């Protein structure tokens, strides 16, 4: 098996054995291979990781932190675990695809990313080493056309001084207030990480080390079923903890200022998730808290929902580019996030909304600007049938959102022509899927026959809220075991 291995790739395996031995194991897992790979610091694999902005020192620290610490017996001729064997098979496959007649460290790296169902893959992806960018970087390194500076690192959005050492990590420590906070590549990373975590969701033991001992504060100014439960379950499954703060608990801006609440929370917890009436509240929380703040619905956007929606569409249809999404009803927070996400991933979107209930003008303009680059068509029409025409996916939401209860009666007069029913769905493609963020008001914006019919994927969509939440937490939340938190050695 080893004849085609380069000198450096052999050394990686040797280092992996040493790492395993140091940790008291007598087998070599993908995590040991990754530690070995990073130790071989002059290798093509490490150059690839650096070129795509992965901080290898932190990655190594995180992996080391997740592995059980043994007695440190020295092993010889250690066996590879079945997952490590699969990594080697995948490395061979990568070499074949790249027409290389040797197995180098770069092939081992791609094999580790592709394996998917192990902490090494999850950590790599979480640090920004998704398969596509890594493969591109391997090709660049092999052809000598690599750029000398790390790619696409959004330093300007990094948070305060405690995070200073992690500038190479793309999403870690940042806020998610709007879909527009994410680049197209970062959205891909979120989807990829979601896929890996969903695929390995039965692997409780492996996932429970990912955010061990981390705490999420969940601020709710409004009710919730899905968002509250999925964020809380996500933290539990990743080994952390979530604190539910109901409206009467902290009374943001009433008991104390939003800034003071933020400046308290950042001293105790690792991230804040907030569901608020005014979007300004999440932006203010983010401004004053030097920990990630995630918007879990405001009057302007619902980014976590839109990510789960597009992940579901991708899962159902395979591709996002070139599809048409129709949104029918109120041009609300959900519609706004969907417009931005559609534009970013190249899905055309047509919103059928009554006069006076169109999406936010600034968001619409921004979505059209982004769509100029991706080729998506972004339209708003008064005619629901026109919006739905030839759509691959049809989406609706309640006619009056939380906070608009006083407008309910008025809206009930305007919206009935925008009900998604079997008749309206006839205008879409035959294999159309139906989505709804839920809760649904059956008989208002959607009929039972559509909600419960063959096109409906609403409960798969609701399930995906959990997998996306886990990916977001894994990607955005800082792991405090990193060295900068305990000071330099
Ligand atoms: N879709 C959604 O956010 O549901 P909840 O309001 O129940 O959280
Ligand atoms: N537009 C709805 C979404 C609920 C998940 C609201 O804001 O109430």
Residues 248, 101 share a domain = no
Which residue range forms the structural domain that includes residue 239? Answer: 169-302+467-476
Is residue 484 situated within a structural domain? no
128 is written with which tokens? Answer: 């920004």
304 included as an active-site residue = no
| Exposure string for 140-156, b = 16+ CB within 10 A, e = fewer | bbeeeebeeebbebeee
For residues 393 and 432, give the distance between their C-alpha atoms in angstroms, rounded to a whole number: 5
Residues 185, 148 share a domain = no
Tens-level pLDDT at each residue, the chain (489 residues): 778 999 999 999 999 998 888 888 888 999 999 999 999 988 999 999 988 888 888 888 888 877 776 665 555 568 899 999 999 999 999 999 999 999 999 999 999 999 887 889 888 887 888 888 899 999 999 988 754 333 322 222 233 322 222 222 578 889 999 999 999 988 988 998 898 889 877 776 668 878 888 999 999 999 999 999 999 999 999 999 999 999 888 899 899 999 999 999 999 999 999 999 999 999 999 999 999 999 999 999 999 999 999 999 999 999 999 999 999 999 999 999 999 999 999 999 999 999 999 999 999 999 999 999 999 999 999 999 999 999 999 999 999 999 999 999 999 999 999 999 999 999 999 999 999 999 999 999 999 999 999 999 999 999 999 999 999 999 999 664 433 333 333
Residues 350, 281 share a domain = no
3 included as an active-site residue = no
Residue nearest to atom 3 of ligand 1 (CA): 227
Residue 159 confidence (pLDDT): 37
| 33 CB-near residues (< 8 Å, 6+ apart) | 12, 13, 16, 84, 87, 108, 112, 120
Domain count, the chain: 3
Query: Domain boundary at 106, 137, 164, which?
Result: 164
Residue nearest to atom 1 of ligand 2 (CA): 401
Residues 178, 147 share a domain = no
Q: Find where tokens 């500076």 sit.
A: 149
335 included as an active-site residue = no
Residue among 83, 174, 302, 427 flagged as catalytic: 302
330 included as an active-site residue = no
Nearest Cα residue to 275 out of 134, 170, 177:
177
Ligand 1 nearest atom to the CA of residue 225, by list position? 7
Residues 124, 34 share a domain = yes
442 included as an active-site residue = no
170 in ligand 1 pocket by Cβ < 6 Å? Answer: no
Query: Domain boundary at 107, 142, 164, which?
Result: 164
CATH number for the domain including 94?
A: 1.10.1780.10
Residue 75 confidence (pLDDT): 55
227 in ligand 1 pocket by Cβ < 6 Å? Answer: yes
Residues 340, 326 share a domain = yes
Residue 132 confidence (pLDDT): 84
Is residue 129 situated within a structural domain? yes
Work out the number of other CB atoms within 10 angstroms of the CB of residue 442.
13
Residues 472, 424 share a domain = no
For ligand 2, the distance from its centroid to the CA atom of residue 249, given in whole angstroms, is: 22
CA-to-CA separations, 246 to 236, 249, 302, in angstroms, rounded: 19, 5, 19
The residue to mutate among 276, 298, 302, having the most atoms of ligand 2 within 8 angstroms of its beta carbon, is 302
Residues 272, 387 share a domain = no
CATH number for the domain including 437?
A: 3.40.50.1370
Residues 241, 118 share a domain = no
Q: Find where tokens 């033991």 sit.
A: 205
Residue 26 confidence (pLDDT): 82
Residues 99, 15 share a domain = yes
For ligand 1, the distance from its centroid to the CA atom of residue 438, given in whole angstroms, is: 6
| 482 CB-near residues (< 8 Å, 6+ apart) | 58, 61, 62, 165, 166
For ligand 2, the distance from its centroid to the CA atom of residue 254, given in whole angstroms, is: 24
Residue 417 confidence (pLDDT): 98
Residues 210, 328 share a domain = no
Is residue 128 situated within a structural domain? yes
Is residue 489 situated within a structural domain? no
Is residue 376 situated within a structural domain? yes
Residues 285, 158 share a domain = no
For ligand 2, the distance from its centroid to the CA atom of residue 402, given in whole angstroms, is: 6
Is residue 116 situated within a structural domain? yes
Query: Domain boundary at 131, 164, 197, which?
Result: 164
6 in ligand 1 pocket by Cβ < 6 Å? Answer: no
Residue among 66, 207, 305, 419 flagged as catalytic: 305
Is residue 322 situated within a structural domain? yes
Ligand 1 nearest atom to the CA of residue 402, by list position? 6
Is residue 74 situated within a structural domain? yes
455 included as an active-site residue = no
For residues 399 and 106, give the distance between their C-alpha atoms in angstroms, rounded to a whole number: 52
Contact 113, 193 (CB under 8 A): no
């Amino acid at each position: 098996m080893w004849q085609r291995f380069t000198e450096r790739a052999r050394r990686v395996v040797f280092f992996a054995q040493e790492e395993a031995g140091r940790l008291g194991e007598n087998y070599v897992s993908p995590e040991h291979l990754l530690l070995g790979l990073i130790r071989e610091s002059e290798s093509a694999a490490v150059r690839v990781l650096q070129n795509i902005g992965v901080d290898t020192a932190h990655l190594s620290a995180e992996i080391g932190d997740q592995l059980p610490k043994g007695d440190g017996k020295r092993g010889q001729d250690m066996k590879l675990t079945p997952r490590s064997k699969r990594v080697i098979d995948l490395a061979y496959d990568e070499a074949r695809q790249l027409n290389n007649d040797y197995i180098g460290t770069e092939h081992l790296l791609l094999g580790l990313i592709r394996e998917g169902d192990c902490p090494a893959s999850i950590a790599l992806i979480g640090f920004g080493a998704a398969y596509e960018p890594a493969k591109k970087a391997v090709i660049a390194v092999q052809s000598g056309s690599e750029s000398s500076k790390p790619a696409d690192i959004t330093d300007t959005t990094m948070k305060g001084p405690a995070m200073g050492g992690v500038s190479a990590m793309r999403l870690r420590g940042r806020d998610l207030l709007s879909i527009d906070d994410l680049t197209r590549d970062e959205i891909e990373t979120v989807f990829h990480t979601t896929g890996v975590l969903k695929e390995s969701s039965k692997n409780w033991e492996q996932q429970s080390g990912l955010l061990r001992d981390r705490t999420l504060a969940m601020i709710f100014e409004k009710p919730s079923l899905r968002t509250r439960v999925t964020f809380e379950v996500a933290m539990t499954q990743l080994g952390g903890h979530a604190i539910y703060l109901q409206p009467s608990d902290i009374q943001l801006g009433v008991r104390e200022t939003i800034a003071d609440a933020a400046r308290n929370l950042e001293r105790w917890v690792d991230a804040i998730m907030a569901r608020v009436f005014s979007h300004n509240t999440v932006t203010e929380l983010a401004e004053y808290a030097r920990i990630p703040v995630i918007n879990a619905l405001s009057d302007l956007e619902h980014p976590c929902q839109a990510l789960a929606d597009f992940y579901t569409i991708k899962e159902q249809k395979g591709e996002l580019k070139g599809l048409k999404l129709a949104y029918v009803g109120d041009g609300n927070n959900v519609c706004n996030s969907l417009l931005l996400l559609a534009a970013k991933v190249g899905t055309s979107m047509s919103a059928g909304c009554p006069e006076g209930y169109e999406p936010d003008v600034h968001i619409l303009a921004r979505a059209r600007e982004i769509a100029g680059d991706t080729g998506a068509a972004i339209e708003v029409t008064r005619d629901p049938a026109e919006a739905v025409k030839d759509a691959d996916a049809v989406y609706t939401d309640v006619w009056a959102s939380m906070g608009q209860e006083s407008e309910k009666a008025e809206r009930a007069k305007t919206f009935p022509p925008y009900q998604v029913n079997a008749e309206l769905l006839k205008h879409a493609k035959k294999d159309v899927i139906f989505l709804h963020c839920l809760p649904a008001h059956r008989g208002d914006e959607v009929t039972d026959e559509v909600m419960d019919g063959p096109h409906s994927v609403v409960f798969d969509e609701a399930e995906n809220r959990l997998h996306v939440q886990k990916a977001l937490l894994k990607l955005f939340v800082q792991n405090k075991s990193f060295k900068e938190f305990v000071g330099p050695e």
